[in-house]
Chain A
Amino acid sequence: MLQTIFIVSLGIIAISSLFLIYRLTKGPSIPDRAVALDAIGINLIGITAIISVVLKTKAFVDVILLIGILAFIGTVAIAKFLEKGEIIENDRNK
């Protein structure tokens, strides 16, 4: 019973990721695509968590925090590039 619920929720997250990929390819502006990528990262966290429950292992718990940190840093880097044109400045008070 519980296994069925996990499989069904995996399918629902997969469908939501498919719609996000549609937004990623079709998105009229670049910020649309950046937000879609961020949401795909959050969906990957959910998929990893459910799969680690299905496989009955604790080995993927680190991966969840890792994807969260990487998605945050990547989104911040894209946002800074869109706003200022460069990701790492030499001197921000210049």
Chain B
Amino acid sequence: MANQKIKTNDVILQTVTQIILFIIIIFSIYLFFAGHNAPGGGFIGGLMTASAIVLLLIAFDIKTVKKIIPINYILLTSIGLMIAVLSGVGSFFYNESFLSHTFDHFHLPLLGETELATATIFDLGVYLVVIGVTMTIIQTIGETE
């Protein structure tokens, strides 16, 4: 009993994390969709989502975070790469060269007249790859004793 470590109480950090986490994730999603006409894009959006998960890792531990977010990040990286490649391959079906993208205007409910570009699909691949690589690096370093 003498050399038992004193348990620290991280209740302030954990409560703050539970609120700030959603602000960071919403900010990262905003950055992801703003990337076409404003500063932002898939890379910085993925990094912000990864930093939200890092904050969760700091406030709790690897075991709890694996229970909250049961995602295999290596699989996430390969899915992102596949989405990015398929968005380029899709232009073959319209007799266009590889990675040529297009856009069109659609009328969406609630949003009204919106310009949807297929470059967003490529950006989604970048977003998933950045999250997967960052979280793989951080979790691999954190797990080693």
Q: Do A and B bind each other?
A: yes
Identify the A interface with B (CB < 8 A).
Answer: 59, 62-63, 65-66, 69-70, 72-73, 76-77, 80, 83-84, 87-92
Question: Quick one: which of A70, A73, A90, A91 contacts B58, CB cutoff 8 A?
Answer: A73
C-alpha spacing A70/B47, complex, angstroms: 11
Interchain nearest-CB distance for A88 vs B (Å): 3
Does B55 lie within 8 Å of A73, measured CB to CB?
yes
Interface stretch, picked from B60-68, B70-78, B90-98, is B60-68
Does A88 lie within 8 Å of B51, measured CB to CB?
no
C-alpha spacing A62/B141, complex, angstroms: 30
Does B61 lie within 8 Å of A91, measured CB to CB?
yes
C-alpha spacing A44/B55, complex, angstroms: 21
C-alpha spacing A62/B145, complex, angstroms: 37
Does B40 lie within 8 Å of A88, measured CB to CB?
no
Assuming the contacts A59-B38, A62-B31, A65-B27, asked whether A88 and B55 have C-beta atoms less than 8 A apart, the reply is no
Does A76 lie within 8 Å of B13, measured CB to CB?
yes
Specify the chain A residue showing the minimal Cβ separation from B142: A88
Does B39 lie within 8 Å of A88, measured CB to CB?
no
In the complex, which residues of chain A have a beta carbon less than 8 angstroms from the beta carbon of B62?
A: 88-91
Specify the chain B residue showing the minimal Cβ separation from A88: B142
Q: Hey, what's the 0/1 contact readout for B19-47 against A, CB within 8 Å counting as 1? A: 01000100100010010001110001000
Does A62 lie within 8 Å of B142, measured CB to CB?
no
In the complex, which residues of chain B have a beta carbon less than 8 angstroms from the beta carbon of A80?
A: 58
Interchain nearest-CB distance for B56 vs A (Å): 10
Interchain nearest-CB distance for A87 vs B (Å): 6
Does B61 lie within 8 Å of A62, measured CB to CB?
no
In the complex, which residues of chain A have a beta carbon less than 8 angstroms from the beta carbon of B59?
A: 76
